[in-house]
Amino acid sequence: MTSSILHGDVANALTALNIAYEALDCDPALADTADFCAHYGYTPDQSANTLLVGSTKGDPVFACCVLLANCRLDVNKTVRKKLGVRRLSFATPEITKQMTGMELGGVTPFALPDTLPLWIDSRVMQCEKIILGGGNRSSKVLMPPEGLLNVVNAEVVEGLAFTFEDKPQPQ
């Protein structure tokens, strides 16, 4: 299925990857995950965020990470080590737009540059369906998470993120 509400490159990527999905309309003012869930009746454990992270020192190195909205990305350990950098941060909205062509609130794993690694927290794969950005702030994609494995450079990573209950406490 293609949809005119999705970013054109995202709709084309979903079709090319043969991923079954449903396109959902979204008020751009409600595109941020918490606002979207509260307004449209979804829960954070069925909504997945796609976050761009990168090195803050030396040559720039980036990766996109997909995690459930009720989790936090383990940037200080798992992601930093996997990316092979000493310092890591979330990409700014400007860098995210420059690298992905998408604005925050609409970033999705589809239509990303082929050179960008896509790491998926293993919890995402346990869901029946997930909601992701549609490439813009006015749409979302509802789909089975298995479709993420069709994306170039996609890898499921155990421990990429943690829930607030799982977070290790300082000793």
pLDDT digits (tens, 9 = 90+) for 42-93: 999 999 999 999 997 888 899 999 999 999 999 989 999 999 998 999 999 9
Predicted local confidence at residue 57, as pLDDT: 83
Separation between Cα atoms, residue 108 and residue 65, nearest integer Å? 10
Which of the four pLDDT bands, split at 50, 70 and 90, describes residue 2? very low
8-144: CATH architecture: Alpha-Beta Complex (3.90)
Summarize the confidence of residues 126-135 as an average pLDDT: 97
Q: In what order do the strands lie in the sheet with 139-143?
A: 22-25, 139-143, 130-133
Per-domain residue ranges for the chain? Answer: 8-144
Predicted local confidence at residue 1, as pLDDT: 45
Q: In the predicted model, is pLDDT for residue 166 greater than 90?
A: no
Predicted local confidence at residue 164, as pLDDT: 72
Instruction: Dig out the tokens for 114 from the structure.
Output: 């082929």
Separation between Cα atoms, residue 166 and residue 35, nearest integer Å? 24
Summarize the confidence of residues 15-24 as an average pLDDT: 95
Whole-model pTM: value is 0.92
Q: Phi and psi for 124 in degrees, rounded to 5?
A: -60, -40
Question: Phi-psi category of 111—alpha, beta or left, where left has phi over 0 and alpha has psi -120 to 50?
Answer: left
Q: In the predicted model, is pLDDT for residue 20 greater than 70?
A: yes
Say if CB 47 and CB 68 are below 8 A apart: yes
